[in-house]
Amino acid sequence: MSRSTANVSFYCRESKKNRDGLAPIELVIILNTRRCFIQLPRKEYPSQFKAQLRGKKRTDLIDYLDGIRVRLNEIATSFLMEGQPLTADALKAYFKTGGYVVYTIEDLFNDYMHILSKRVGKDLTQKTFRKYEIARDKFYQIISPKEPVSAITKAVIMDYQASMNRYLDYVTTNGYCQRVKTIVQFGIDNGKIKINPFSGIHLRKGEKSVQFLSEEEVEKIRTTDFHNESLNRVRDLFVFQAASGLSYTDMAKLVPTDFQVTEDGQYYIHDKRNKTGVFYTAVILEQGVEILKKYHFKLPILGNHKMNVYLKAIRDLCGIDKPIFSHVARHTYATRCLNRGIRLEVVAKLLGHSTTRITQHYAKLLKDNILNEVKDAFEKSH
C-alpha cells in the first residue's frame, strides 16, 4: 500500500489491560482519510510492547507485526488486481473474513436513501423522497439489486434511459436518470464505485410540455350533465380549480373561513401553499364562485387518485383529445390569465410561485391570441 494514501500502525493500550496486565494488540488502518480499527488475537504487556517497538532487536512480536503488514499489502494488491474498490472498511472486512464483502447495488441505494430519509421534513419534502424511491424501483427493473455496484455500467444507464423513454416524456425520464446519477456519484465519492458509468452521458434539461384546456373545453366540461353524482362532483371540483388556480392539496384543505370577499363582491383566498409555504392570493373567477355557492363553501373533496380516474372518464365523455388530470386545471387557470394580458408577476402571486421563472412555464399563448396581437399592432401603426 502506498504510504501517500495509506498508513498502518499498531497499539497496545493500557486502558484495555485484563487482570493479568495483558492487552490486545490493535491494528489501525488509515486509507484515504478513512480510519478503521481491528483488534488482533494476540495480547502483550503494554510496557513491553512499546519497548520492543522502540528497540532494534528482532523479536517474535516484530516478526508478527511485519507479517500483518505483509498480509495487508497482499490483500490490497488483490483488490487492485481484481478491480475491487479499495477502502479501509473493505480492507478490514477482507482481513477478518478472508474474502471480499461484495457491496451491492441494493447496498448503495439503501445507504443513500437512509441519509436522504433523515432530511425529510427539514430541507426535503416527502414528495421528493418518493421520486427517489420511484427512480430506484425503475432501476431495479433493469438490473438486479443483488449485483455488485461494479455491474452498473454505461450500457445499463443507457438501457435505463431508453426503457423509460418508451412511455415517459423526455423531461420526466431525465429527472429519474438525474436521481440515479446523484446516487452513483455518492458511491464514487465514498470509494464504492471505481468507474463513473455516467461518463459521456449528457442529461440535457428540456422543457416539459404544459397541458391546459381551452376556454371552450372548460365550458364543455362545466355544462355537461354526466347523470352520475360522482362524475358531476369531480366536474365541479375541476371547474373550481380552473377558476382559482389552486393545486389539489391546497384545494383539499380549504374551509369556509378561508374564502374572503371584497366590497365589490370579488372572492379570493390568501394563504400559504401546502407544498412550498409561499403565500398566494387566488382570485376566484365567476365559474368558481358558482361552484362554491352550490356547495355552501364546503367543497366535496375526494382523493386525488380517485379524482384523476373520474377525470379520464369525463375527458372521454366530452370528446376531449387531451390528457386531463387535477393539475391540468391549475395550468389552465394560469394560461387563461396570461392570455388575457395579466402580467407575469401578478400570475406568479396568484399561483404562489416564488419567482416568475416558474410561472413562465405556463406562458403558452394560444394561436389566435398571437395572430390577433400582431394584427392589432400593425393596424395601429397605419
pLDDT at 209: 64
Q: Is 236 a member of any domain?
A: yes
Residues 222 and 351 in one domain: yes
Can you give the CATH number for the domain in which 232 is found?
1.10.443.10
Q: Which residue has the higher pLDDT, 354 or 133?
A: 133
Report, as an integer, the average pLDDT of 347-360.
75
Residues 93 and 109 in one domain: no
Q: Is 382 a member of any domain?
A: no
Q: What percent of the chain has pLDDT above 90?
A: 53
* Per-residue pLDDT reduced to its tens digit, 46-65: 999 999 998 888 899 999 99
pLDDT at 157 over 90: yes
What rounded mean pLDDT belongs to the chain? 86
Q: Is 117 a member of any domain?
A: yes
Residues 240 and 330 in one domain: yes
Q: Is 195 a member of any domain?
A: no
- Identify the domain boundary among 33, 66, 97: 97
pLDDT at 317 over 60: yes
Residues 29 and 146 in one domain: no
pLDDT at 169 over 80: no
pLDDT at 207: 58
pLDDT at 114 over 90: yes
Residues 162 and 255 in one domain: no
Q: Is 15 a member of any domain?
A: yes
Q: Is 282 a member of any domain?
A: yes
Q: Which residue has the higher pLDDT, 6 or 17?
A: 17
Domain span at residue 93? 6-97
Residues 114 and 89 in one domain: no
- Identify the domain boundary among 97, 120, 136: 97
Report, as an integer, the average pLDDT of 150-174.
88
Q: What is the 3-state secondary structure of the chain? A: CCCCCEEEEEECCHHHCCCCCCEEEEEEEEECCEEEEEEEEEEECHHHHHHHHHCCCCCHHHHHHHHHHHHHHHHHHHHHHHCCCCCHHHHHHHHHHCCCCCCEHHHHHHHHHHHHHCCECCCECHHHHHHHHHHHHHHHCCCCCCCEHHHCCHHHHHHHHHHHHCCCCHHHHHHHHHHHHHHHHHHHHCCCCCCCCCCCCCCCCCCCCCCCCCHHHHHHHHHCCCCCHHHHHHHHHHHHHHCCCCCHHHHHCCCHHHEEECCCCCEEEEEECCCCCCEEEEECCHHHHHHHHHCCCCCCCCCHHHHHHHHHHHHHHHCCCCCCCHHHHHHHHHHHHHHCCCCHHHHHHHHCCCCHHHHHHHCCCCHHHHHHHHHHHHHHCC
- Identify the domain boundary among 45, 72, 97: 97
Residues 30 and 77 in one domain: yes
* Per-residue pLDDT reduced to its tens digit, 84-100: 777 888 888 888 877 66
Residues 89 and 123 in one domain: no
Q: How many domains does the structure of the chain reveal?
A: 3
Q: Is 198 a member of any domain?
A: no
pLDDT band at 375 (very low <50, low <70, confident <90, very high): low
Residues 367 and 261 in one domain: yes
Residues 272 and 235 in one domain: yes
Residues 317 and 356 in one domain: yes
Q: Is 80 a member of any domain?
A: yes
pLDDT band at 178 (very low <50, low <70, confident <90, very high): very high
Residues 262 and 355 in one domain: yes
